Chain A
């Protein structure tokens, strides 16, 4: 019998070339992305430089903005974080709930796919549409409830002002809806990829469905869930149009969720077209701060995900 000719052979020079070319192109694009980020930061920093030199870190702690000499952005920083945390908290609650509902065999598979697609469709709606919807549908709808809360629970700091129309709560609610698809999609995937063996083992030990979900499925999927929340938070921080339309553009700090507020992105969006020299620098300064906050959130997010991963392995 003839010895079988080996199918292994050294790569041809054409293949090597193609491989090199592909690697080179990929590397080039990777560097290009990094270069782009550096360029953007440099450009913003360059425009912001005069403001940074003149005011330094003082702007971070001042709440006065008059467009001439005072460019305090503390209310915008607080507003950005407050609205994002509130929005993501609400969005995460509903998003994760939907994700569980879609993966734990509550529904026939066709219906699951249908609902999943509907939720993901929410992500395709432009944010200006969300803004209009918030103004014309959401605000009139929540107004009576907000008035009731203020009248009966006005001593709670979160409700101690009256909702006029625009405010932090409508903005946060719309944010919640906007980030929900992100949270649902990623959480659903990571919950669905929990090995069935784990669930079965849990049932085998006598755990109920809820005990299994809360004690086995969710902790196992926690890395993906945290990842989805961080991603959603990143989106909420940078969300612009809907917040510019709903938050009320007020440079103020309140505990109350009914008070008007402002965010960094909304500040940029509303003031930029009309801004000239000193104000322009201040807006770029605000943009840098927003960049820094986003970076910080992403780093914290990466750390959390890492810790969750380590725990999961153990």
Chain B
């Protein structure tokens, strides 16, 4: 640990030497974690830098698990994770009272590659649960065909693509499946929920959202789950999923917002651990997830604390309008207010 800090110090010193405009007032901070919100976080930190050129926050998209680990080891000022960590630990030397703040949210799309198939496939709850359980193995299965009248489904075998590594996206997706289907639950012999689960045989593993997107694109008959932003970026077909109200809804910013707001906004716990596993409402897209930043209630260095507070305040106010631009969902008002109130208490 000591060596790591020493090394970090050397790195910081080196980067300070490299940057010629460096004055003693400049502050460089390091954030690391989830890949899913990375484009948005980087944009936020960049916009913040444009407003306050003496504060530079760099963000490393190394994955939720690694982000939590680096935060615990005191290597970063801000961590980020797609999955909520109930017993979050931090490094005493960095600060006290580690906690998590929801920053943005996103939908998870089920993407598919089906030559000679429809481009707006509808999947019922039973159908997509059974596909990811490995029970439905061909595209012309009656459970899929019955919701897509007027379309001849090809008999292409289904190849399911899932994440190869432990992932926040997998957690959000399996969390939803676990909530809607008894057969998915562990006690019934299903895979259950988690950042990494025991999938059925014959599935392919892709690394990262980008890896899954590439595999779905490459494999005829493939189906996989992706964060909406990545799905749109890779121009894959996205299935309309049946929501709790029984309606088929395509993933997009409007349906995502419908899942976060309205009746789904009622219960917000004090620790802001919000999980919407099966959103209500006709227009709600069924698979959405929040994503969190990890920070300290009281930073060891007051200057760092004040800056983190300022950065987070920016992200939670003006920054929210950038979310939609990049395919993310802005926080619903009440969540945003609560989050902001907590951010303001950072010292």
Binding site for B on A (CB under 8 A): 64-68, 70, 135-136, 139, 161-162, 164-166, 244-245, 248-250, 252, 259-260, 262, 270-271, 273-276, 279
- B218 & A139 in contact (Cβ 8 Å cutoff): yes
**Contact with A67, one of B64, B194, B201 (Cβ below 8 angstroms):** B194
Chain B positions within 8 Å of A164 at CB level:
157, 159, 204, 219, 221-222
What are 11 inter-chain pairs, A to B, with CB distance below 8 A?
Answer: A66-B191, A66-B194, A66-B197, A67-B194, A67-B195, A136-B218, A244-B164, A245-B207, A249-B204, A270-B205, A274-B195
Chain B positions within 8 Å of A249 at CB level:
164, 204-207
| Chain B interface residue bracket vs A | 20 to 34
Among B63, B164, B167, B194, the most chain A Cβ lie within 10 Å of the Cβ of: B164
Q: Answer yes or no: B1 CB below 8 A from chain A CBs.
A: no
Chain B positions within 8 Å of A270 at CB level:
164-165, 205, 207
| 10 A-B pairs with least C-beta separation | A249-B205, A67-B196, A249-B164, A165-B219, A164-B159, A274-B65, A66-B198, A270-B164, A274-B166, A274-B63
Binding site for A on B (CB under 8 A): 62-66, 68-69, 157, 159, 164-167, 191, 194-198, 201-207, 214-215, 218-219, 221-222
How distant is the Cα of A314 from the Cα of B303 in the complex, in angstroms?
79
Least CB distance, A271 to chain B, in whole angstroms:
5
Chain A positions within 8 Å of B194 at CB level:
66-68
Chain B positions within 8 Å of A135 at CB level:
214, 218
- B165 & A166 in contact (Cβ 8 Å cutoff): no
Chain A positions within 8 Å of B167 at CB level:
274
| Chain A residue nearest in CB terms to B218 | A165
How distant is the Cα of A165 from the Cα of B204 in the complex, in angstroms?
9
How distant is the Cα of A259 from the Cα of B201 in the complex, in angstroms?
10
**Contact with B204, one of A64, A136, A161, A260 (Cβ below 8 angstroms):** A260
Chain A positions within 8 Å of B68 at CB level:
276
Among A67, A70, A244, the most chain B Cβ lie within 10 Å of the Cβ of: A67
How distant is the Cα of A244 from the Cα of B164 in the complex, in angstroms?
9
- A244 & B198 in contact (Cβ 8 Å cutoff): no
- B198 & A70 in contact (Cβ 8 Å cutoff): yes
Chain A positions within 8 Å of B219 at CB level:
164-166
